[in-house]
Chains A and B, each alone.
Chain A
């Protein structure tokens, strides 16, 4: 074992974070304050998510880390390495093999199970923040269920753009009570927030933890005459041909040629392994990994 305690944080800190997590699960959508620790990475790089993951990891767990759906970006790789070093847990890129999945800005395409935990990195936990700068006032608004302001934001969207233009961090109401920021996931992922797995949200700089227990009711806010629409780019994945996954737009060259590919790399690869091929993809056997 290294010089670190298991999963970097000391046991007292993990207990404190677990208490915050339990409280968050007991009051779904409510932002529980916690004493966020200094982590060996800068704020904005997932310090909140890392602390939550550290508090729930067990030595026998397998961990997966994704950033914008991809397992191979800098942020994902460094956090995966962090836990390989400090907790010596097994890691994987396969969604179904993971016990704990830490994510930034995406929910995996594949349905999660009851024995899995999804941990979100959250930059700004307060959905009312951009309209009401006072923390005292927003906490009061949550306490008293005064959420008219949230609709003002959507109203402004429609007034300015003709439709609700909020495409990510789209506000939701949890179990008919708390309005919650689902972290900057695309609104395409919002319907997936009602899932079998436990979802935990950690905001390190803002020192807040909140949670959704399995099968919690999560409703995206909207107007009767402008209902919520979990839209995505109107293309199939160029590599695996998937019609129903969230796509990234990739610019191919200086003349503006572009390609749409699954943002969930594991999902895309699994499909290609199963024989699905998109317009610009090649059969999996011939692809070099």
Chain B
């Protein structure tokens, strides 16, 4: 089986400071990879390098494209990369307002990616938008409301619907449950797990919440000061951490 994503020796520097360095891994179809670490550990920098939002200074990010097999998205032309960004890739931002058009209705937000790839039948677009609102548990009668009238959890679910409507194969998520209260988080986690399973999605989730990765991620990567200090099966890394930093991280979690 070809990995969906092959990351080879990615590095990003901010002047003399390390953003992230020496990062390599493979992600297979259907796998969910969690990236954890404290603020400033380089996990968001890495995610942005992988998703094509930041040009890395070094390394390759090979994505298994539908048409031509593995292609390096770092050296790929910008139009091709942006095309991936609205078809096979999805990016879920921590703050829903970064990923939504706040002045456009829920239906328009979900429909945008469809229209971006050429859909031009209003009835069909609306039908698909309704279907997706239903899948993320937003009532159909809210389709013409703007996201500014939604709660934080609904905005986040709308952002997910907007991203998944074109059936992407790889989803990047930056703290998808951050800033939501716990009951809303649980609902979102359940939704994400169902979607990952039903659509066969691969996902890379950046978070500092170890409980979230335990429930969502198959594999885990622990970052510190721009370096990957440990990676492996999620439950193995959390229950039998090998690196001193991971041990500290795991033992620092408050228990309820």
Interface residues of chain A, those whose CB is within 8 Å of chain B, are: 131, 144, 146, 148-149, 151-152, 155-156, 158-160, 222-226
**Given contacts A152-B104, A152-B111, A144 and B121 within 8 Å (CB-CB):** no
A155 to B123, CA, bound (A): 10
Q: Top 10 nearest A-B pairs by Cβ distance?
A: A148-B116, A151-B115, A223-B122, A148-B115, A224-B121, A144-B79, A152-B108, A225-B123, A159-B144, A152-B112
Within the complex, what minimum Cβ distance (angstroms) separates B23 from chain A?
A: 28
Q: Give the chain A neighbours of B121 by CB distance below 8 A.
A: 223-225
Closest chain B CB from A224 CB (angstroms): 5
Residues in A neighbouring B108, C-beta threshold 8 A:
152, 155-156, 159
Asked whether A155 lies within 8 Å of B115 as measured between CB atoms, the reply is yes
Assess the A159–B143 pair: CB atoms within 8 A. Answer: yes
Inter-chain contact B107/A131, CB cutoff 8 Å: no
Residues of B within 8 A of A160 (CB): 105, 144
Contact present for A155 and B82 (CB under 8 Å): no
Interface residues in B, total, Cβ within 8 A:
26
Asked whether A148 and B113 contact (CB < 8 A) given A158-B122, A224-B120, A225-B121, the answer is yes
Q: Is the interface of B mostly helix, strand, loop or mixed?
A: helix
Give the Cβ gap from A188 to chain B, nearest Cβ, in Å. 22
> Is there an interface contact between A155 and B116, defined as CB atoms closer than 8 Å?
no
Q: Which residues of A contact B186 (CB under 8 A)?
A: none
**How far apart are the CA atoms of A106 and B121 in the complex, in Å?**
30
Total number of A-B contacts with CB less than 8 angstroms?
58
Give Cα A160 to B105, complex, Å.
9
Contact in complex: B116, A226 (CB < 8 Å): no
Binding site for A on B (CB under 8 A): 78-79, 82, 86, 101, 103-105, 107-108, 111-117, 119-123, 125-126, 143-144
- A155: chain B residues at CB < 8 Å are 107-108, 111, 115, 122, 125
B123 cross-chain contacts in A, Cβ below 8 A? 225
Q: Which of A144, A152, A225 contacts B115 (CB 8 A)?
A: A152
Beyond contacts A131-B101, A148-B112, A148-B113: 15 other A-B pairs, Cβ-Cβ < 8 A, are A144-B79, A144-B82, A146-B86, A148-B114, A148-B117, A149-B112, A149-B115, A156-B104, A159-B105, A159-B107, A160-B144, A222-B120, A224-B121, A224-B122, A226-B122
CB-CB nearest in chain A for B146: A156
Residues from chain B with Cβ under 8 Å of A223 in the complex: 120-122, 125
Minimum C-beta distance from B126 to chain A (A): 8
